[in-house]
Amino acid sequence: MVLGKIVSSNLTRQFKGELNNFDKKNIILTTTYDKVISGMLIGMGDDNSVIIADAVIGGEKHHRMFISGTVIAEIILGDAPFDMHGLRIELEKIFKKTGVRYFDDTRTIVVMDRYKVTESTVEGDGPVADRIRSIWQSYKSQTDSE
């Protein structure tokens, strides 16, 4: 029974990590009554209810749309998420494995316990931050062109 709890806990953590890939991404949502809604997922409640920005349903556009989790049949990620694992590997080539930590639940990389890297920004100042930013920009443009 203990193994079941460990596996369950790990799977739950992985599920939440995967779900974070949907945050601020374009999605295609199908309801249980066969309506298709597209837009950017900007919020999700504990009951799986969602808030979609710039929602489009049947050609009609809406600034924000709340959809109850009870009517959601499926959610498809419209865009592949930025490969933070790949970026971590690139950073480890320069800053060694011990200097680079990746947090899957927040999709954040911390370099040298000082510089925070996300898919959209590098936080920090100085020559080290500039080097990280250069690696981040190079990796981002490389993956965007693929």
CATH number for the domain including 40?
Answer: 2.30.30.100
Choose one of 52, 77, 102: the last residue of a domain.
Answer: 77
> pTM above the 0.75 mark?
no
Domain match, 18 and 69 both: yes
Q: What is the pLDDT of residue 4?
A: 53
What CA–CA distance (Å, rounded) separates 146 from 144?
A: 6
Share above pLDDT 70 across residues of the chain, in percent, rounded to a whole number = 92
Domain match, 51 and 110 both: no
Q: Which residues contact 43 (CB under 8 A, 6 or more apart)?
A: 50, 51
Q: Which residues contact 13 (CB under 8 A, 6 or more apart)?
A: 105
Instruction: Supply the range of the domain harboring residue 59.
Output: 2-77
Region 43-72 average pLDDT: 93
Q: How many distinct structural domains can be found in the chain?
A: 2
pLDDT at 53 over 80: yes
Domain match, 72 and 138 both: no
Domain match, 21 and 71 both: yes
Q: What is the pLDDT of residue 1?
A: 46
CATH number at 106 reads 3.30.310.60
Domain match, 93 and 64 both: no
Task: Read off the tokens for 70.
Answer: 């009870």
Domain match, 88 and 39 both: no
CA dihedral 32, 38, 41, 45 (to 10 degrees): -20
pLDDT at 83 over 80: yes
Q: What is the pLDDT of residue 140?
A: 87
| Cβ neighbours around 55 below 10 Å, total | 22
